[in-house]
Structure 1
Amino acid sequence: MNWRKSTYSGGGEGNTCVEIAEAVTHIAIRDSKAPARATLSVPVPSFVAFVEGVKRRSRPGA
């Protein structure tokens, strides 16, 4: 899997963030500080809905 971190990741080593990897039907998520540990896998539509919800809540006046 090709793991990637958010561009909003913390400073320094950038290891204060989660990483995601895209598969055909699922998104895998892992802790960037412990990449060898377990991952969480969710269906793409669920992940998209989660991200959209976070974006809505982070907008002023939302």
Structure 2
Amino acid sequence: MPEDIISSIQESVIQGRMNKDDEGMDEGMIGQPGVTELVEKALASGLSIQNIITKG
């Protein structure tokens, strides 16, 4: 699961999606979690800040 969250964070960064209200470069992504929501989810699941920053 941590790898899934990290992967989603990486994709949202590439897409330029700060939060769920951002569309990103690929249309149709509005409403899906963005970087902000994904980082909050990662922290809540116990992932360390260091892993989020270095891998995400």
Q: Which has the higher helix share?
A: 2
Scaled by the length of structure 1, what TM-score is found?
A: 0.28
Bigger RCO (CA 8 Å, 6+ sep):
2
Instruction: Mark the structure with the bigger radius of gyration.
Output: 1
Normalised to the residue count of structure 2, the TM-score between the two structures is: 0.29
